[in-house]
C-alpha cells in the first residue's frame, strides 16, 4: 500500500511548481532533498525522487537506498545512497533508479519518461527492439562505432561464451547454417533474430525449448532458461547495454539543430540525426546529449554533465 496521498498537492494545468508555505509534507526518509533544504523551487520532480525510493524498496526486497532510518535524512540531503542490492531487473533498474534519485531535480526524468523506460517494455517490444538492432548492425563493418561499442559491452553482457549457455538442441541447429562467435553480442542478436524469423521451420523439440513467441522466447534468450522450468545458468542479456550501444546509430530519419558548446563555437547550430526503430524507440546520435525534447526544432546548448536517456531515447 502506498500512503501519504492525504498530504499531496494537485497542480493545475500549466503549473510546474508549488510553494512550501504549509511546511514540509511527506514521510521522513522518503522526501526529496529540495523539500528538506528549501534551497530549490519545489516541482513535480519531488514525486520522482520518492517514487525512485519506492522502486528500489520493491526491487531490493525491502531495502532503502539511503540506508538506516537514523541516517536517512542526512544521506538524502547529501545525495549519499546505494542501489547495489537490486535483486530483480538489475541491469535495467539501476540506471533508472539512479537518475530518479539525483539531488538536482532537473537531472531526474519526468514520469512520462519513467513509464517508457525499457524495464516496463512488454516482451513483444523487447523482441522487436532486439530484431531492429540486429537488422541495423548486420551490414556494419566490424570496426564501425556501433559494433565496437556493442562488443565492448560484451564482457558485461555475455560473461563468457554464450554458446555454452544455450541448450544442446539450439547449439546443433545453429551449427547447421553458419558459424557464430560465442564472444560476440552481434552474433547473439543474429541468432535470436534468425530463430525468430524461422521459428515455424524449427524442429518441434527446439520450438518447445524456445517456447512461445514473444514471452517465453524472449525469456529464453534473456536468461537462457528452459521455459519448462528446468534451470540453466542465469545469464541475463543486458538490454540496457545493447540499448546504449544502439544509440550510436545515425540513420537519418529526422534531424534537429543543437548548439554544441564543445565543438561548435559559432552561432550556427550543428545537425544531429535520429533513427526511429519499428519498436517505437527513437535513437539519436549521442555526440550531443540534448537536454530538451528531440525533434522540437529549437537550438539548445548541449548539457555535458549527465547523459539523459529519457530525452535521448523517448519522445516525452
What's the pLDDT score for residue 246? 62
Contact, 305 vs 264, CB < 8 A?
no
Query: Looking at the chain, which residues constitute the CATH 1.20.1440.180 domain(s)?
Result: 123-243
Residue 4 has which C-alpha cell? 501519504
> Residue 34 above 60 pLDDT?
yes
pTM of the predicted model over 0.85: no
- What is the per-residue pLDDT for 138? 86
Mean pLDDT of 227-250: 54
> Binning pLDDT at 50, 70 and 90, where does residue 222 land?
confident
pLDDT in tens, 260-296: 333 333 333 333 334 444 455 444 333 333 233 333 3
Tell me the helix, strand and coil percentages in the chain, rounded to 5.
Answer: 45, 5, 50
Dihedral pair phi/psi, residue 219, rounded to 5°: -65, -35
Starting at the edge strand that comes first in sequence, how are the strands of the sheet with 282-284 ordered? 254-258, 270-276, 282-284
Residue pair 128/277 in contact (Cβ under 8 Å)? The answer is yes
In the beta sheet, which residues pair with residue 258?
270
CATH fold of 5-108, please? Transferase(Phosphotransferase); domain 1 (1.10.510)
Residues 89-135 have pLDDT tens digits of 777 788 899 999 999 999 999 998 999 888 888 889 888 988 888 88
**Which of the two residues, 265 and 229, has the higher pLDDT score?**
229
- Burial (CB < 10 A; 0-12, 13-18, 19+), residue 122, is exposed
Return the axis-axis angle of helices 123-137 and 215-223, rounded to nearest 10°. Answer: 60
More confident residue, 23 or 93: 93
The per-residue pLDDT for 9 is 58
Averaged over 301-313, what is the pLDDT? 39
DSSP 11: P
Helix (H) or strand (E) holding 258: strand 254-258
Residue 126: its H or E element: helix 123-137
Give the pLDDT confidence of 40-77 residue by residue, as tens digits.
678 888 999 999 999 999 999 999 999 999 999 999 99
Per-residue pLDDT reduced to its tens digit, 149-193: 888 877 666 767 888 888 889 999 999 988 999 888 889 899 999
Helix (H, G, I), strand (E, B) or coil at 57: helix
Q: How far apart are CA 132 and CA 246, in angstroms?
A: 10
Task: Kindly state the cell numbers that stand for 22.
Answer: 504549509
**CA 109/CA 100 separation, integer angstroms:** 6
Contact present, 76 and 33 (Cβ < 8 Å): yes
In 3-state terms, what secondary structure has residue 304? coil
Q: How high is the pLDDT of residue 172?
A: 92
Q: Report in angstroms the alpha-carbon separations of 173 from 49, 67, 179, 207, 298.
A: 48, 49, 11, 11, 51
More confident residue, 14 or 101: 101
pLDDT band at 25 (very low <50, low <70, confident <90, very high): low
Fold category of 123-243 in CATH:
de novo design (two linked rop proteins) (1.20.1440)
Residues of the chain with CATH 1.10.510.10: 5-108
Does position 297 have pLDDT exceeding 80, yes or no? no
What pLDDT does 2 receive?
57
> Confidence class of residue 220 from pLDDT cuts 50, 70 and 90?
confident
Q: What is the per-residue pLDDT for 247?
A: 53
Helix (H), strand (E) at residue 273: strand 270-276
Residue with cell 538506516: 68
pLDDT reported for residue 268: 39
Residue 23's pLDDT is 53
Amino acid at each position: 500500500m502506498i500512503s501519504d496521498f492525504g498530504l499531496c498537492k494537485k497542480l493545475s494545468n500549466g503549473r510546474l511548481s508549488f510553494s512550501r508555505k504549509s511546511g514540509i509534507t511527506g514521510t521522513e526518509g522518503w522526501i526529496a532533498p529540495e523539500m528538506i533544504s528549501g534551497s530549490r523551487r519545489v516541482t513535480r520532480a519531488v514525486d520522482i525522487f520518492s517514487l525512485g525510493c519506492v522502486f528500489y524498496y520493491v526491487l531490493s526486497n525491502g531495502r532503502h537506498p539511503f540506508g538506516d532510518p537514523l541516517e536517512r535524512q542526512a544521506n538524502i540531503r547529501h545525495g549519499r545512497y546505494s542501489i547495489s542490492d537490486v535483486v530483480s531487473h538489475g541491469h535495467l533498474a539501476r540506471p533508472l533508479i539512479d537518475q530518479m534519485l539525483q539531488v538536482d531535480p532537473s537531472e531526474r526524468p519526468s514520469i512520462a519518461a519513467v513509464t517508457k523506460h525499457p524495464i516496463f517494455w512488454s516482451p513483444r517490444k523487447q523482441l522487436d527492439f532486439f530484431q531492429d538492432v540486429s537488422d541495423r548492425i548486420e551490414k556494419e563493418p566490424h570496426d564501425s562505432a556501433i559494433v565496437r561499442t556493442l562488443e565492448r559491452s560484451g564482457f558485461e553482457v555475455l560473461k563468457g561464451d554464450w554458446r555454452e549457455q544455450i541448450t544442446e538442441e539450439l547449439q546443433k541447429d545453429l551449427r547447421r547454417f553458419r558459424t557464430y562467435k560465442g564472444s560476440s553480442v552481434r552474433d547473439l542478436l543474429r541468432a535470436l533474430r534468425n530463430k525468430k524469423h524461422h521459428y515455424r521451420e524449427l524442429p518441434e523439440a527446439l520450438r518447445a525449448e524456445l517456447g512461445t513467441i514473444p514471452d517465453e522466447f524472449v525469456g529464453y534468450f534473456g536468461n537462457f532458461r528452459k521455459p519448462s522450468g528446468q534451470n540453466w545458468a542465469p545469464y541475463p542479456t543486458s538490454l540496457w547495454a545493447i540499448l546504449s550501444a544502439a544509440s550510436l546509430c545515425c540513420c537519418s530519419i529526422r534531424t534537429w539543430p543543437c548548439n554544441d558548446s564543445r565543438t561548435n563555437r559559432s552561432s550556427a547550430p550543428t545537425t544531429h540525426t535520429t533513427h526511429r526503430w519499428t519498436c517505437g524507440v527513437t535513437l539519436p546520435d549521442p555526440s550531443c546529449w540534448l537536454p530538451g525534447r528531440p525533434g522540437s526544432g529549437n537550438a539548445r546548448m548541449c548539457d555535458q554533465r549527465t547523459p539523459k536517456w529519457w530525452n535521448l531515447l523517448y519522445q516525452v
